[in-house]
Amino acid sequence: MGSHSSSAHGENYINCEKGLWSWLTTIDHKRIGIMYMIAVMFFFFVGGVMALLLRLELFAPNATAGVGQVLKNGDAYNQVLTYHGAIMVFMVIVPGIPAILGNFFLPIHLGAKDMAFPKINLLSWYVFMAGALLAVATFFLSKIDTGWTFYTPYSIRTGTSVVVMVVAAFIMGMSSILTGLNMIVTVHKLRAPGMTMHRMPLFVWAMYSTAILQLLATPVLGITLMLLAAEKIFGVGIFDPALGGDPVLFQHFFWFYSHPAVYIMILPAMGVISEIITAFSRKVIFGYTAIAYSSLGIAAVSFFVWGHHMFVSGQSELAGIMFSFITMLVGVPTAIKMFNWVATIYKGSVSFDSPMLFALGFLFLFAIGGVTGIMLATLPIDVHFHDTYFVVAHFHYVMVGGTLMALMGGFYYWFPKMFGKNFNEALARLSFVFIFIGFNVTFFPQFILGAMGMPRRYFDYIPNYEQLNKVSTVGSWLILIGFLIGLYAIVQGIRKGSKAVANPWGAKTLEWQTASPPPQFNFDVEPVVTAGPYEYR
């Protein structure tokens, strides 16, 4: 591959080839990242509209006619709930940062020309799209109503297209495995000269830990979903108590994947935050090794905590106690990261550009998500909070507040690099303000609703819960406004933004040492690395 001083002629990965076909057949990791971006944004829009519908339905108890009856009955609500969860988990948050930002920046961060397996990289996009479209297709067959967790025996008994949906999730899982595999090999084999493991940016460490999880955990989900499909088609009797199966076994299998998956969602976010905090404080990150190894630590321990989803499922008391204990241990590396980020700001030179605002928003929301996580890990407290709105609030704080804040922050951070254009900073900040306030208005009341005892997945509720649900629904509109402003800022930036310089933020990692947007093979001259990634002196 010998395109050398291509950027000197103003040629970059966007304009080096033209036409839709050149995008659909590209093996350039940057273009694939952009293709993921378009897909994920579309699914985020669909999942978001469903969230708004759910909140609208819950604006008032059903007894009050009108607003409380947006979805015409419990079935419609349960279906929208299921699609909202499945789309947001499998098509937005799990692929989000790894597939968009990871694809785009991991090779550049390493000083590589591309991923280790560029064609497998393209294949994973097609596999992902095939799975995602199949999942969406079930919406036109018979809408499934199992919740994104597919708990048995409900999923076996319900007459809806569960089999198609689990096949779709299985296919998307394969895409996730391929991406993970590709990233691990890229990290091990394609680092530029001088780029030792301990000189890799923390974003790469986070992606690396994530990739290990994707590779090891996703097959378990695949097998579980295939067993569920076999159960539905052939009546094997693994999960269905009517056939002598054990319905709780499904939960064990399911969470053995899905708990590590929670970290597949959050570790990449932590990587993005590490990059932003250090760049906008202009200061070397505090505790590089602690952050890098705590990612691996979280990844390792996350395999042994699945049972904390099942404290009241009828699993043994001893199991509950063990899982509670191990879950407490995950809190430690997570706390370490929080302290490291705050310590990085200490004696720095902090600017409040929009990426930094999103990163600070992340720290704020993740602190709340984290402490409520400890509450849920505490056995007798979880017995009360399990399957209530407290849990809903907690995981939205961690997964949406955490991952989405990081995705938005990372997106604005790298926007000039990705598109070679500047976005409107005022709009980006305004979008942050709406999203941040809206998010807290929507989800904080749900902690209280949960403490008051309102169970989750409720189509309707008793009047005690009305006021807080109203507040929560109003919050969801603020989030909507925030995202619409953000979308406008992005589209306007891409179309009309002024030309970006190579290193607008004065950051140190490798992607800022090449042109904006990067040339087709990332660097005109292969970089040689002589120091750590954050040498701000």
Partner 1 sequence: MMWFNIAKAQSFMPTQGTEIAKQVDNLYGFLLITSFIACVLVIGGMIYFVLKYKRKSDNDKTAYISHSTALEFLWSFIPLVIFLAVFAWGWYIYHGMRTMPKDALEINVLGKQWAWEVEYKNGYKAVNEIVVPVNTDVKLLLTSQDVIHSFFIPSFRIKQDAVPGRYTALWFRAEKLGEFHAFCAEYCGTTHSGMIGKVRVVTREEFDKYMEEGQEEGQLPLAKRGEKLFALKACASCHAVDNPAAKVGPSLFQVFGHEVVLADGSKVNADENYIRESILQPNAKVVKGFPQGVMPTFQGQINENELNALIEYVKSLK
Distance CA 421, CA 358 (A): 20
In the stretch 351-390, what mask flags binding to partner 1 with x, by CB under 8 A?
xx-------x--xx--xx--xx-xx-xxxxx-xx-xxx--
Residue selected from 139, 293, 458, 477 as contacting partner 1 according to rule CB under 8 A: 458
Query: Can residue 313 be called a binding residue for partner 1 (CB under 8 A)?
Result: yes
Question: For residue 455, what are the β-bridge partners?
Answer: 388
Residue selected from 46, 52, 336, 471 as contacting partner 1 according to rule CB under 8 A: 336
For 364, counting Cβ atoms within 10 Å of its Cβ (0-12 exposed, 13-18 middle, 19+ buried), the class is: middle
Nearer to partner 1, 74 or 194 (CB): 74
Residue selected from 24, 38, 141, 462 as contacting partner 1 according to rule CB under 8 A: 462
Number of residues that bind partner 1 (CB under 8 A): 89
Residue selected from 9, 72, 347, 495 as contacting partner 1 according to rule CB under 8 A: 347
* Helix, coil or strand: residue 388: strand
Query: Can residue 247 be called a binding residue for partner 1 (CB under 8 A)?
Result: yes
Query: Can residue 498 be called a binding residue for partner 1 (CB under 8 A)?
Result: no
Query: Can residue 349 be called a binding residue for partner 1 (CB under 8 A)?
Result: yes
DSSP code of 499? B
Please name which of 346, 345, 390, 343 lies closest in space to residue 371, comparing C-alpha atoms: 390
In the complex, least distance from residue 417 CB atom to partner 1, rounded to whole angstroms: 20
Site for partner 1 in 280-299 (CB under 8 A): 281-290
Long-range Cβ contacts of 454-458 (<8 Å, 24+ apart): 454/388, 454/389, 455/387, 455/388, 455/389, 456/387, 456/388, 456/389, 456/391, 456/392, 457/78, 457/81, 457/147, 457/387, 458/58
Alpha helices, H only, 235-316: 247-281, 288-301
In the complex, least distance from residue 153 CB atom to partner 1, rounded to whole angstroms: 5
Question: For residue 421, what are the β-bridge partners?
Answer: 499
Nearer to partner 1, 24 or 371 (CB): 371
Query: Can residue 504 be called a binding residue for partner 1 (CB under 8 A)?
Result: no
Site for partner 1 in 84-113 (CB under 8 A): none
In the complex, least distance from residue 340 CB atom to partner 1, rounded to whole angstroms: 8
- Note whether 81 and 456 are within 8 A (CB): no
In the complex, least distance from residue 503 CB atom to partner 1, rounded to whole angstroms: 13
Query: Can residue 73 be called a binding residue for partner 1 (CB under 8 A)?
Result: yes
Site for partner 1 in 215-244 (CB under 8 A): 241-242
Query: Can residue 338 be called a binding residue for partner 1 (CB under 8 A)?
Result: yes
Distance CA 146, CA 254 (A): 14
Nearer to partner 1, 23 or 536 (CB): 536
Distance CA 75, CA 81 (A): 10
Tell me the window of 17-25, 128-136, 314-322, 469-477 that interacts with partner 1 (CB under 8 A): 314-322
Distance CA 207, CA 43 (A): 22
Nearer to partner 1, 373 or 410 (CB): 373
Backbone dihedral angles phi then psi of residue 455, each to the nearest 5 degrees: -70, 155
In the stretch 173-212, what mask flags binding to partner 1 with x, by CB under 8 A?
----------------------------------------
The two most distant CA atoms of the chain are separated, in Å, by 70
Distance CA 230, CA 270 (A): 38
* Enclosing H/E stretch for 70: none
- Note whether 36 and 125 are within 8 A (CB): yes
Site for partner 1 in 423-452 (CB under 8 A): 448, 451-452
Question: For residue 388, what are the β-bridge partners?
Answer: 455
Distance CA 332, CA 335 (A): 5
In single-letter form, the type of residue at position 406 comes to: A
Six-digit token string for 288: 């590089």
Q: Tell me whether the omega of the peptide bond preceding residue 517 falls within 30 degrees of 0, making it cis.
A: yes
In the complex, least distance from residue 283 CB atom to partner 1, rounded to whole angstroms: 4
In the complex, least distance from residue 383 CB atom to partner 1, rounded to whole angstroms: 5
Residue selected from 24, 133, 321, 501 as contacting partner 1 according to rule CB under 8 A: 321
What is the radius of gyration, based on Cα positions, of the chain?
23
Site for partner 1 in 124-153 (CB under 8 A): 145, 147, 151, 153
DSSP code of 236? -
* Number of Cβ within a 10 Å radius of residue 77: 22
Query: Can residue 308 be called a binding residue for partner 1 (CB under 8 A)?
Result: no
Nearer to partner 1, 402 or 518 (CB): 402
Query: Can residue 52 be called a binding residue for partner 1 (CB under 8 A)?
Result: no
Residue selected from 51, 301, 345, 428 as contacting partner 1 according to rule CB under 8 A: 345
Query: Can residue 67 be called a binding residue for partner 1 (CB under 8 A)?
Result: no
Residue selected from 63, 67, 226, 332 as contacting partner 1 according to rule CB under 8 A: 332
Residue selected from 2, 19, 66, 159 as contacting partner 1 according to rule CB under 8 A: 159
Query: Can residue 324 be called a binding residue for partner 1 (CB under 8 A)?
Result: yes
Residue for token digits 């819960």?
465
In the stretch 517-536, what mask flags binding to partner 1 with x, by CB under 8 A?
-------------------x
Nearer to partner 1, 78 or 516 (CB): 78
In the complex, least distance from residue 323 CB atom to partner 1, rounded to whole angstroms: 11
DSSP code of 155? H
